[in-house]
Amino acid sequence: MSKNVVKVSQERMYDIIKAPVITEKATMGSEFNQVTFRVPLDASKPEIKAAVEGVFGVEVKAVNTLIQKGKVKRFRGLVGKRSDVKKAVITLAAGHTIDVTTGV
């Protein structure tokens, strides 16, 4: 079985990994060696895997993605909508860790 290797430029790697998600639910994933990042809506799973491995120098076991649809909010009677957000839950191989509290 051949592995799909995606070539991603160094600049694109830093564009793909926008920010870590620091929430109670996301930090619970650390028990299972998981880290959650906010990524662009057009980023694919192989691209995300290549970016995390390239930027942090770790081995990625799996990438799960989800798209959180923006809520409709009202402020002083005016209707607005939050932007849609794509999140990537990265499962790291055993023995690898990413410290999201420090910068890249």
List pLDDT tens digits, range 23-73. 999 999 999 999 999 999 999 999 999 999 999 999 999 999 999 999 999
Query: Do 16 and 39 contact (CB within 8 A), yes or no?
Result: yes
C-alpha pair distances (Å), 40 with each of 6, 52, 69, 85, 88 = 17, 14, 13, 8, 10
User: Is it the case that residue 1 has pLDDT exceeding 50?
Assistant: no
Non-local (6+) Cβ contacts of 103 within 8 A are none
pTM (predicted TM-score)? 0.86
At residue 97's C-alpha, the angle toward residues 92 and 103, to 5°, is 120
DSSP code of residue 93: P
CA distance from start to end of the chain = 33
User: Is it the case that residue 82 has pLDDT exceeding 70?
Assistant: yes
Query: Do 13 and 39 contact (CB within 8 A), yes or no?
Result: no
